[in-house]
Structure 1
Amino acid sequence: MSNATTRTGWRFRQPSVIPGFGLTLGFSLAYLTLIILIPLSGLAWRSAALGWADFWRIALDRRTLHALEISFGTALIAAAVNVVFGTIVAWVLVRYQFPGRRIVDAMVDLPFALPTAVAGIALTTLYAPNGWLGKPLMALGIKVAYSPLGIVMALIFIGLPFVVRTVQPIIEEIDKEVEEAAATLGASRFQTITRVLAPGLLPAVVTGFALAFARGVGEYGSVIFIAGNLPNISEIAPLLIVIRLEEYNYAAATAIAAVMLALSFLMLFVINLLQSWSRKRYG
């Protein structure tokens, strides 16, 4: 064994002096297999049973493509918005002291605890054509509820905590002396942000973006109330899957779910590559 280890340059070492590594590793693999791998394998197997012709016919259906475009497009836009404003919120909570700071900090976690259906009803009431904000916006020609814009607003609401809670600990670790040293050396505020602070925050920002995006793609409860659910206009892919199930069209529901799974894996893979690149570049 030692000779083989010497030849290959690889050695399997336990990561801790505490015993039980083999047992915990086996439990982890078994748990992941039962909870994640087996359901995903069942979905892939059911989709393969359709045959390529039927699968692509369902996947390339006009209504399916529009639903996928709305789900992934709105999730991408909402995650991008949350990256900007979530980072600003995290910065304010860490760097500034003001009355009610703890209340604001606690309010950030409200979307975590609030049932998604309650969030959807509240947003619909707020942005409906006769709502508090919907009515003046309609006067300006901006329709929020029952449109893709309403979906974006709902996803921003439920995705903001993912960015804030991911970036906030990293900001807390950045010493103020670093900013002061950059200013002493003649750096402007813009240079301090882009060259001193941003590189250290980039991995956390990308992680927060990935979490918010992943949550937004599969969100259902808070979206269906404000979306209006109009086919080819504001119908999301999870709702279309539910509709196919209610029609007992399990083949179509499985095909749509498989396409969503493949696209999610692809986009998360790209995001993970960005995370790996940012960690290697900035540490």
Structure 2
Amino acid sequence: MLPKAATPSVKPRPAAGFRPIGFSLLYAVLILVAALQLLPLVWLFFFSLKNNQEVFNLPPLSLPVQFRWENYQKVWEAGNINVYFFNSVWITLAATALTIMLGGLATFAITRMKWRLSSFVLGLFMVAIMIPVHSTLIQLFSMFNKAGLTDHPLSLILSYVAFNLPITIMIMLGFYYALPKEVEEAAIMDGCSIHRLFFQIVLPMTSSVIATTAIINMIYNWNEFIFVNTFISSDSLKTLTVGVQNFVGQYTTDWGSIGATLVISILPILVMFLFLSNQIMEGITAGSVKG
């Protein structure tokens, strides 16, 4: 007589009624976390619409007695923020574009081209990540002073590119290693040159990681203070981070104007992040999976 086959044990499934409750609790926690993240922005917006008396006498999240929209007009016109804003925009965009282009070219050369010193050059870029910004200020100022680049926007752009290039290459490395080589081999078989291969094939395929590195570079360049405060002395060349100091006096400080300046300064980065959020998440995760 043949033995009976053992029947596999079936684990009881959780009751279907618990799933909506679990999702509801998860959504409630996420909404609470999102609200906590938004509280500083709400506080800053209310802060920008108050005068000094309301800032110190009213609770932080309370509405102003009178919405002082003139704070924004004051900082934009009388406070010279329009000039600082324009300087921040074009310097940030120029440095970010140059960093991404150089980072893409360097990463392509390290991951796709065979040459002796590729590993050594990659090691130099990785070591550069550990160099503190403050330890280079004196040397950079001396170098830019000899080259006639102090009080010149090019000193900021070159500094931003130099310090952002290592982290940009590090982010791009995983994505470039995951790119299928068959596409490039087919393009080369069709007679594609190395320059067309990079600009017309590889670069469009890396749009998601480009968006990721772009937002990281823009946040750093937009919020940078040390280089601007060290290399730039002309008021017409300053950026928003240094321009805020105009509203800090020796005896009085216009806190409402400072709040309005800070709101203006965070809006471009916030809008850019909202538009590129999907590409940023794709770029962060794509390089971690090969094939």
TM-score by length of 1: 0.73
Structure 2: distance between partners of 1:25 and 1:111: 43
Quick one: structure 1 residues 158 and 191, their matched pair in 2 at CA, closer, same or farther if it must change by over 3 Å? closer
In the alignment, structure 1 residue 244 sits paired with structure 2 residue 247: yes
Deviation at 1:44, TM superposition (A): 0.9
Contact residue 218 and residue 269 of structure 2 kept, 8 A = no
- 1:189 is displaced (CA, Å) by 4.0
d(CA) in 1 for partners of 2:78 and 2:247?
Answer: 13
Question: Which 4+ residue blocks in structure 1 deviate beyond 6 angstroms?
Answer: 11-15, 273-278
Shift of 1:122: 3.0
**Aligned equivalents of 2:204, 2:43: Cα separation in 1:** 41
Q: Which residue of 2 aligns with 1:71?
A: 88
Distance 1:213 1:254 in 2: 21
Match status 1:52 vs 2:69: yes
Residues 252-282 of structure 1, C-alpha deviations (whole Å, 9 max, x = no match): 211111111122223334444877999xxxx
Check 1:94–1:189 CA distance in 2 against 1; reply closer, same or farther (3 A cut): closer
Which letter maps to 2:38?
Answer: L
Please tell me whether residue 230 in structure 1 is matched to residue 234 in structure 2.
Answer: yes
- The residue type paired with residue 234 of structure 2 is L
After superposition, the Cα gap between the structure-2 partners of 1:211 and 1:249, relative to the gap in structure 1 and judged at 3 Å, is: same
Shift in alpha-carbon separation, 1:64–1:91, aligned structure 2, 3 A:
same
Q: Residue type matched to 2:41 in 1?
A: L
Equivalent-residue separation in structure 2 for 1:60 and 1:244 (angstroms) = 13
Structure 2 residue 44 is the aligned partner of structure 1 residue 43:
yes
Map 1:131-210 onto structure 2 (within 5 A).
134=147, 143-210=148-215
Q: Which amino acid aligns with 1:39?
A: P
Rate the CA distance shift 1:272–1:30 in 2: closer, same or farther, 3 A.
Answer: closer
Quote the Cα distance in structure 2 between the aligned partners of 1:107 and 1:89: 12
**Same amino acid, percent of matched pairs:** 15
Q: CA deviation at 1:223?
A: 3.1
RMSD: 3.5
Cα 1:246–1:122 change in 2 (3 A) is farther
Query: Is contact 1:90-1:167 (8 Å) kept?
Result: yes
Q: Is contact 2:48–2:263 with CA below 8 Å preserved after alignment?
A: yes
1:12 and 1:104 map into 2 onto residues whose CA distance is 54
Larger radius of gyration: 2
Amino acid at match of 1:239: V
Contact 1:111–1:157 (8 Å) recurs in 2: no
The TM-score with structure 2 as length reference comes to 0.71
Residues 52 and 172 (structure 1 numbering): CA distance in 2 closer, same or farther, change over 3 Å? same
Unmatched runs of 5 consecutive residues or more in structure 1: 1-10, 16-20, 135-142, 279-283
- 1:93 maps to a residue whose letter is I
Q: How far apart, CA to CA, are the structure 2 residues paired with 1:251 and 1:204?
A: 38
Deviation at 1:66?
Answer: 1.3
Aligned residues: 248
CA contact (8 A) 1:109 1:161 kept: yes
Q: Distance in 2 between matches of 1:13 and 1:90?
A: 48
Q: 1:191 Cα deviation (Å)?
A: 4.6
Query: What 5-or-longer segments of structure 2 have no aligned partner?
Result: 1-18, 52-67, 284-291
